[in-house]
Amino acid sequence: MVAFRRGKGKKPVRQHKVMLGDKVLYQAAQLTHAERFAAARRAEGVPCHVVPDTTPKPPRREQINPLTGQPRKRGRVR
């Protein structure tokens, strides 16, 4: 099953899974959320592990400056 974000476009969301054997315990779009969930289950004594989503990130669209109509510069460090 592919999850989609709400909003303008339908973009697939990454799905990281917390597994117990072959059973999915939890699914999260952010890897840190899945890791925290797995750590909490391990603290309870449940031997689970995180399976990160390996699909490549889609390329980002160019951002257009609304004042000039030109693409934004991507030189700065984020």
State the DSSP code for 68: T
Q: Where are the alpha helices (DSSP H) in 1-78?
A: 31-43
Q: How far apart are the first and last CA of the chain?
A: 32
Tens of pLDDT along 22-72?
Answer: 999 999 999 999 999 999 999 999 999 999 999 888 788 888 999 999 998
* Beta bridge partner(s), residue 12: 4
For the cut 90, the answer to whether the pLDDT of residue 21 exceeds it is: yes
Residue 26 to residue 9: CA distance in whole angstroms: 25
Full domain range(s) for residue 35: 16-51
Residue 75 to residue 71: CA distance in whole angstroms: 12
Is residue 37 included in any domain, yes or no? Answer: yes
The pLDDT, as a whole number, for residue 8 is 61
The pLDDT, as a whole number, for residue 7 is 55
Q: How many domains does the chain have?
A: 1
Residue 25 to residue 18: CA distance in whole angstroms: 6
Is residue 41 included in any domain, yes or no? Answer: yes
Average pLDDT for residues 5-13, to the nearest whole number?
A: 65
Is residue 45 included in any domain, yes or no? Answer: yes
